[in-house]
Amino acid sequence: MRFLMAAPRILSGIKPTGRLHLGNYFGMMRPSIDWQDRGEAFYFIADYHALTTVQDPAALREHTRGVALDFLACGLDPQKAVLFRQSDVPEVTELAWLLTCLTPMPMLENCHAYKDHLAKGKVPSHGLFAYPVLMAADILLYDSNVVPVGRDQKQHVEVTRDLAEKANRLFGPIFTVPQPSIVSEVATVIGLDGQKMSKSYDNTIALFEEEKVLRKKVLSIVTDSAAVEDPKDPASSSIVALYKLCADADSVALMEEQFRAGGLGYGEFKKRLFEALWQKFAPFRTKRAELAADPSTIDAILRDGAQRARAVAVPTMERVRKAMGLR
């Protein structure tokens, strides 16, 4: 058990289920990268979790590598933060089982991802149902204090807190109870259709989109039918919402003013948004290309990350097994 002293332990994970998008970047990656200077940061590629949807081994390997590249290109510093693959520390599945035995079914029946699946008439796998327990194991295995995530993951951190508190009541203080950290102004990044940006809705802008595709996607952002001369509402516009994430305050203020004034069409604002996005990610694109050219660097970073993660996970499991009567 770790108490929050000067340097918090920060942990977050992301599933390698496809190309990462702006929602992932602003909701989870950038906040995580910001945290790396403020404590001991552990970030992992949640490949066990991804197996609930990706069942093609070559695709899983490719996405896993892609997530590592994206994270490093965007500024994750492996000297500061530990970057590792979830499955390189298989102890997490053991802890997930121990927590499963403490988890009331209704707690999981109440979780959004499972309920959404049922609402769509799909048959959830046991893995999807138990997903939040594995996530709790991720967080508790590393004695994490802070979990930077997008708003949709808040419920999972609450499940983790409940399980940690229950285990601590039953077995003594074996777990650190974590807090979610959600950056409120980017809690939900909006997608091309005005809904939450998500792989599941096919409305994403990938972080490392090719120039032509990016332009086309930005031009396809859904707007209302206001004419060029009409005043427009910046507060309800996805263009403005996305522009706020990538442009400086003066440029945003100018766009908002021009929305309200009327006289410019959405096409003009979309062009500006495209430019701002393209510029914002330019340095990351350069870095990504450099990293991609040298696969051995990524392998070495992940190997080192696995070792540093195991150095924390192994003693936690010894402590937990003993407290629960397994040794």
* Contact (Cβ atoms closer than 8 angstroms) between residue 80 and residue 40: no
Residues 207-266 that bind ligand TRP (CB under 6 A): none
Phi, psi (deg, nearest 5) at residue 41: -100, 135
The least CB distance from residue 177 to ligand TRP, in Å, is: 14
- Six-digit token pair at 105? 């079914």
Amino acid letter, residue 277:
L
- Which listed residue (45, 92, 130, 147) binds ligand TRP by CB under 6 A? 147
Angle at which helix 295-324 crosses helix 126-141, to 10 degrees, equals 90
* Residue 14 binds to ligand TRP (criterion: CB under 6 A): yes
What 8-state DSSP symbol labels residue 38? S
- Six-digit token pair at 315? 């003693």
* Residue 204 binds to ligand TRP (criterion: CB under 6 A): no
- Six-digit token pair at 47? 């490949």
Nearer to ligand TRP (CB atom), residue 147 or residue 190: 147
189 binds, among ligand ADP, ligand TRP, none (CB under 5 to 8 A by kind): ligand ADP
> Measured in Å, how far apart are the chain's first and last C-alpha atoms?
18
Tell me how crowded residue 22 is: count the other CB atoms within 10 A of its CB: 24
46 binds, among ligand TRP, ligand ADP, none (CB under 5 to 8 A by kind): ligand TRP
Q: How many CA atoms lie within 13 A of 87 on its CB side?
A: 11
- Per DSSP (E only), the strands in the chain are 9-14, 40-45, 82-85, 146-148, 179-181
Site string for ligand ADP, 192-231 (x = CB under 6 A): ----xxxxx-------------------------------
* Residue 108 binds to ligand TRP (criterion: CB under 6 A): no
- Which listed residue (50, 74, 83, 149) binds ligand TRP by CB under 6 A? 149
* Residue 132 binds to ligand ADP (criterion: CB under 6 A): no
The alpha-helical segments, DSSP class H, found in the chain are 22-24, 30-35, 47-50, 57-73, 91-100, 105-109, 112-119, 126-141, 154-171, 211-219, 238-246, 249-261, 266-280, 282-292, 295-324
The least CB distance from residue 262 to ligand ADP, in Å, is: 30
* Contact (Cβ atoms closer than 8 angstroms) between residue 150 and residue 187: yes
**Total binding residues toward ligand TRP, as defined by CB under 6 A:** 14
- Which listed residue (8, 10, 15, 71) binds ligand ADP by CB under 6 A? 15
- Which listed residue (76, 130, 139, 273) binds ligand TRP by CB under 6 A? 139
- Which listed residue (8, 10, 12, 182) binds ligand TRP by CB under 6 A? 12
The least CB distance from residue 245 to ligand TRP, in Å, is: 19
* Residue 159 binds to ligand ADP (criterion: CB under 6 A): no
Residues in the site for ligand TRP, rule: CB under 6 A? 11-15, 46, 49, 135, 138-139, 147, 149, 153, 156
List of residues contacting ligand ADP (CB under 6 A): 14-15, 23-24, 27-28, 149-150, 152-153, 188-189, 196-200
